[in-house]
Amino acid sequence: MEQGARHVTRSAPEVTPARKGPVRRLYDWMLHWAETPHGPVALAGLSAAESSFFPIPPDPLLVALALGASKKALRFAAICTAASVVGGLIGYLIGAGLWGALAEPFFRYVPGVTPEAFERVRSLYDRYDFWAIFLAGLTPLPYKVFTISAGVFGVNLGIFVVASILSRGLRFFLVAGLIYRFGPPVKEFIDRHFNTLTWAFGVLLILGFVVIELVL
């Protein structure tokens, strides 16, 4: 009979990586384009799609591309802005000409596009058409809801285009400009505070509406 304690070595249980959800997988797929020669083309396509039906904004890909080539950061911002405005016009045309046929599938399958959201946007357009579009283009609000509904509710096309160019340009050039000026150290700051900063600006804008109402 063996004396003493017998030491049994047990292998540590294998840890199964948490399964990524569909949105996270889509996000990772989007970012991989930054490592390919087709990054700018992917940025343009993503920016246009996000303005009309795609659920993920182009900002992460813009940041990744700009960090990889900071001297081209402003060029990437210009691509992002132009493509986003074109995508917004596609959304506008969907709302103006095809909404009767496409409303049901959009409400069912496109994240953020709901009848309730459309009703809230309608009330904004009744009073603040330019500023409603500007706020949506600048902040994390679902811009596609505003582009499509602008066509549905007949918002003036000139107002729509100008508000889209200014808001999308400010949003993307602000991010790209920081990277162009400060380089990689700014990435952590942008990642951590982007939504907070844009929402803070949006709150200030809304407070401006309130002040105007009180004064006028």
In the prediction, which pLDDT does 15 show? 46
Name the least confident of 71-75, 172-176, 199-203. 199-203
- The stretch 101-122 carries a mean pLDDT of 85
Query: How many domains is the chain built from?
Result: 1
Residue-number span of the structural domain to which 46 is assigned? 36-215
- The stretch 50-78 carries a mean pLDDT of 89
In the prediction, which pLDDT does 216 show? 34
What are the DSSP calls for the chain, one per residue?
A: ---SPPP---PPPPPPPPPPPHHHHHHHHHHGGGGSTTHHHHHHHHHHHHTTT-SS-SHHHHHHHHHHSGGGHHHHHHHHHHHHHHHHHHHHHIIIIIHHHHHHHHHHHSTT--HHHHHHHHHHHHHHHHHHHHHHHHSSS-HHHHHHHHHHTT--HHHHHHHHHHHHHHHHHHHHHHHHHH-THHHHHHHHHHHHHHHHHHHHHHHHHHHHHHH-
| Structural domain contains residue 125 | yes
| Structural domain contains residue 30 | no
Q: Are 136 and 143 in contact (CB under 8 A)?
A: yes
In the prediction, which pLDDT does 142 show? 82
- Using pLDDT thresholds of 50, 70 and 90, give the confidence band for residue 213: very low
The C-alpha atoms of residue 164 and residue 170 are separated, in whole angstroms, by: 10
| Structural domain contains residue 28 | no
Of residues 211 and 136, more confidence is placed in: 136
- The stretch 52-79 carries a mean pLDDT of 89
With both helix axes pointing from N to C terminus, report the angle between 59-68 and 73-93 in degrees, rounded to the nearest 10.
160
> What torsion, rounded to 10 degrees, do the Cα atoms 81, 83, 84, 90 define?
150
| Structural domain contains residue 13 | no
pLDDT tens profile 114-171: 888 888 888 889 888 999 999 889 887 789 989 999 999 999 999 999 999 999 999 9
| Structural domain contains residue 4 | no
| Structural domain contains residue 79 | yes
Q: Using the Cα atoms of residue 183, residue 184, residue 187 and residue 188 in order, give the sign of their dihedral.
A: negative
pLDDT tens profile 21-44: 665 676 677 777 778 888 999 999
| Structural domain contains residue 29 | no
What does the block give as tokens for 56? 């993920």
The C-alpha atoms of residue 147 and residue 160 are separated, in whole angstroms, by: 8
| Structural domain contains residue 150 | yes
- Using pLDDT thresholds of 50, 70 and 90, give the confidence band for residue 212: very low
In the prediction, which pLDDT does 152 show? 92
In the prediction, which pLDDT does 56 show? 82
In the prediction, which pLDDT does 192 show? 74
